[in-house]
A and B are shown apart, each in its own frame.
Chain A
Amino acid sequence: MARAQSRDSLGARERSLDSAGVRRVVVWVAVLLTCLLLQSTVFAQIQLGGAKPDLIYKVTINLAYLEGPSSGALAGFAGGMAEDFLLNQPKGITALTLTLVGYGVGLLRQYIVSPSPLLPVFLVGGATTVGYLFFGLIRFLLGEPVGGPGYVVRVALLTGLYNAILTPLVFPIVRRAAESSRTRKVFRW
């Protein structure tokens, strides 16, 4: 009798975890889609010095910071693929870049123990810049350069700067979305 009750309880818990997982996926798909739409509309207009903030990078890095390397890598891959396909860019390069950026930031987060509120700001700025440089390198290696080295470096630095500036605005929204989608079983990385 007690055994049967225990089995029922475990089943209910599994169902609850499944529904939480689905909710999580739905929330992050919605977040990424919103970012893509905003990136191609509102943020497309805000260009300063030849560069504009990159929301997909920003959200990927924030998510990796909050959820760890596997979530970061998955979000980066999904966001990058979506960006490549929906914005009709060469396919796979953004996905590859953001997968590595998400994984790298999630991994780095495990080794940095700092309560400073500026940590996400610097992490977003630095990771965006590195990601853009990597993207530029891959495009160059594939024979489809996006511009000269000076141009790539300038755009990478400016995008990193703009993303860092936007962090105090965007990071709380991403954190709230992460918390609302999180299952009860939380792994702290």
Chain B
Amino acid sequence: MALSRRARSTRLLVITLVFISLMTITIDYRGGQSGPLELAGKGALTVVGPMQQAVAKIAHPIGAFFSGIVHIASLQSENRRLQDELRKLRTENTQAIGAIVENDQLRGLLGIKARLGLKGITSTVIAESLSNFEWSVTIDAGSSQGVKADEAVVSADGLVGHVTEVTPLWSKVTLILDPTSAVAGRLVDSGDTGLVVGNGDHDMSMQMVAPSAKVNPGEAVVTAGFRGGLYPAGILVGLVSHVAPAEGSLSKVVSIAPVVDFSSLQFVVVVTGTRPIPPPASPSPGASASSSPSAGASGG
């Protein structure tokens, strides 16, 4: 009897709860976004929000741990995918950086050609010397492209060397660092001349400089462009790094640091001739004569 009364009261309770739920659904459904229940929900959210925040702060590492466990398979595959993507992006990035450097060097070459009025063949360095006693590079231009022996080779920064061997498709360029190389150079400030001789991995030495010459460290040395020489005039060879005292000597010895970075040489121009440089449209008052070498200096 008591049991049946209890069952009845339970049923009544459930019917009441279901009725309340249905009323809630109806009121919420009819009220829409601005109904009273929606406002009550927003109020409840305001109350429970800070509690959720506090619990989340404490429980986040726990949740992340379990989440990591349940997602371990997908994490592994995602990790593999991301690693592949990273490898691909790294390759692309390297290629992009290479392209930028290449672009800069080629622009520099165009610049030096225009500045010095040089005609030439642009080529790429494809190999360096294998010997420890020879400072040379191989370029991918040969006689079929018009390269001839003893032609000067320049990079965007300055003088590189001269062609010593030519085959139809490639040529060997002896660098100015090579001890067999000698370039007639001129000190830009004083105008004194000398012979810049290669010294391997050390700075080049400028010999036969008059003992009375006033040489300053950091002074630029350009090719003298003597008639009958290999190099056109005005190409930057290097900068004075050290001046040896000339007491009791017939000449002064000057050390020259090359301006070209031979370890990262990529593009060069084989100078096949010169052309007249058009005069600037509006010459600046401070322009010096040494910065515009004469067009006819190719024989120097």
Contact = CB atoms under 8 A, between A and B. Distances in A.
Contacts of B13: 70, 73-74
Contacts of A100: 14, 18
Contacts, number: 108
Interface stretch (A9-17, A44-52, A124-132, A146-154): A44-52
Contact of A70 (B9, B52, B55): B9
A80 B26 CA distance: 16
A84 B40 CA distance: 11
Chain A interface mostly: helix
Contacts of B6: 187
B125 to A, nearest CB: 56
A42 interface: yes
Interface in B169-193: none
Interface residues of A, number: 36
A99 B14 contact: yes
B55 A73 contact: no
Contacts of A142: 25, 29
Nearest to A92: B24
A97 B36 CA distance: 22
Contacts of A40: 52
A187 B44 CA distance: 35
B48 A86 contact: yes
B28 interface: yes
Interface in B50-104: 51-52, 55-56, 59-60, 62-64, 66-67, 70-71
16 contacts: A37-B48, A41-B55, A41-B56, A41-B59, A41-B60, A45-B63, A45-B64, A48-B70, A85-B37, A90-B25, A92-B24, A95-B20, A95-B24, A96-B21, A99-B18, A187-B6
